[in-house]
Structure 1
C-alpha cells in the first residue's frame, strides 16, 4: 500500500468517530476557529478571507473559520472525512465546498486563495523532504501574492527531547458512556519518524468496541519546517506558541512575497 493510500485509509476508518478525540467537539471547534481567525486577521486585516483548508478532515477548523465569516473550501486525502465535513457544515447551515485531494496535488488554479491552512499535525504525515516540499510548493502555488500560509504541528522540539511512547487517555462522554482514546508510539531508528497506534474504546452494551488505527509521522522540528517553508518560496516564516496564539499547537505562519 502506498503512503498516500495508508494515510487515506487511516482517516477513512477514523472519520465516523473522529469527534470522539475531543472532550467536546463543538467547544473545541469554536476555540480553534477563534484562535486561527485571530492569527489570520492579525496578519491580513479584518476583511473576510478566501481560505483553503487542505487537510480539513471532518471539518473542525474549516467549519469554525467559516462561522467566523471567512469563505472556506475544504480538501482532505480522506474521501470519508470530507463527506462528513460536508454533512457537518450543512447541519450548521455553513457553506463549505469540499473535495477529496492530496495536498501534494491540489485541484485548483494558481493564485486562488488568500490563506492556506494545514492544521492539526497533518503535514507530518509526509515522510520525506521531497513530499514535504511538493506539498508546500502546491500551497504556495494556489496562494495569491501576499497570501498567508498557516501550519500547525505537535510541539516536536519538546517531543524529540523525550521521545514519548504514549499519550495520556482522553475521555469523552457520550449517551452510551465514556469513550477512551489514546495513542502508542514506536520510534524508528532515525529518531525522527514514529509509527502510531490510535486506540479508541467505545462503550458497546456491557462491553467495549475497540478500534485500532495505524499511521506514521515525521517529527519535524520547528527550524527544520521553517527552513522547508522558506525553500518553497515563502517569506517571513515564524512560529507562534499556544500561549500567544490561543491555538492548542504551535502555529507556523509565512507569506507569499
Structure 2
C-alpha cells in the first residue's frame, strides 16, 4: 500500500458522500444486504450477540448500517479524517460504534479483542498491491476472528475487469444535473494494477467546481485470493454476486477454522 491511499481518503473524507446517489439510502440498503447475509451464517437470533470489526470503515457506510440492525460494531480505518467523519455520522444516526485508527496489516497490534465478524467493504483490500501485504492483512484479520468467525470482503469483479480493462465509468449525473461523478482508470502495462482518478464536479451557487483525487489498486483475481486464504487457514470460501445479493459489488465470505 503506497502513500497515495492515505492521501486519497484524507482528502476525500469531507466529500465522500457525494460519490453516492443518496448516501443515507446506501447506508440502509447495504446494511440490509449484509444483515441478511450474516443471518444466513449465524444461528443466533439476536444481532446484539454478534460482534463486528469493520476494518476499513471509511466514513461509516457499512458500520452505521450494521449498527442500526443492532450489531455490536467496532470500526477502524487507516485515515484519521475518515474515522473522525464516521464518528460524527454515527452520532447523527443515533448509533454507538467503537472507532479507532488502524491499518488492516497491523490489526493484531492496533485493535484489542476478537470478533465474530471482520468486514472490509468498498474495494479496500485491493489497495494492497503486493502479495506480502495482502497476506499480512489476511493474517491479521485471522487473528482478530473468534473460532468459526466470519470474514466478509466486498471488492470489484476483477476477473471481468482484467479482460475488459475499462478506462472510464459511466458519469453519474445527480442533483438535477448539478453534480457529476465519474472515475478514469489508467491500467499498468501488465494489467495487474491501475490508477483511479476520482472526479466530483459540483455546481455551487452557479459556479462549477471539480475535485480530483487519485489512488492505486491491484486487480486481485478470485483464485489468487482463494489460494491465499486457504494457506492462512480460512475455509468455506464463497463468492456471491450482485445479481444474487442486490449488493453493488461481489461479496466474498470465509470461515476461520
TM range (shorter): over 0.9
Shift of 1:4: 4.4
Rounded to whole Å, the distance in 1 between the matches of 2:106 and 2:59 is 20
Q: Distance in 2 between matches of 1:205 and 1:109?
A: 47
1:5 maps to which residue? 3
Partner of 1:73: 74
- Is the aligned partner of 1:191 residue 2:194? no
Structure 2 partner of 1:128: 130
| Whole-angstrom distance in 1 between the partners of 2:72 and 2:117 | 10
**TM, length-normalised to structure 2:** 0.94
* Residue 181 (structure 2) pairs with residue 181 (structure 1): yes
Residue correspondences, number = 252
Uncovered stretches (5+) of structure 1, i.e. residues with no partner: none
**1:245 Cα deviation after fit:** 2.1
Aligned partner of residue 80 in structure 1, secondary structure: helix
8 Å CA contact 2:4, 2:216 repeated in 1:
no
Query: Aligned runs of 1:66-145 on 2, under 5 Å?
Result: 66-106=67-107, 107-109=110-112, 112-145=114-147
1:27 to 17, 22, 25: 25
Structure 1 residue matching 2:139: 3-state secondary structure? helix
Asked if 2 retains the 8 angstrom alpha-carbon contact of 1:21 and 1:172, the reply is: no
CA distance in 1 between partners of 2:132 and 2:85 (Å): 30
Following the alignment from structure 1 to structure 2, what is the Cα–Cα distance between the partners of residues 171 and 194? Answer: 24
Residue-by-residue CA offset, 1:43-100 (whole Å, 9 max, x unaligned): 1123321000000000000000000110101101111101110100001110011111
Following the alignment from structure 1 to structure 2, what is the Cα–Cα distance between the partners of residues 14 and 196?
13
Shift of 1:223: 1.5
Q: Which residue in 2 is equivalent to 1:256?
A: 256
Pick aligned residue for 1:41 from 23, 35, 39: 39
Residue segments in structure 2 that go unaligned for 5+ positions in a row? none
Secondary structure, counterpart of 2:10 in structure 1 = helix
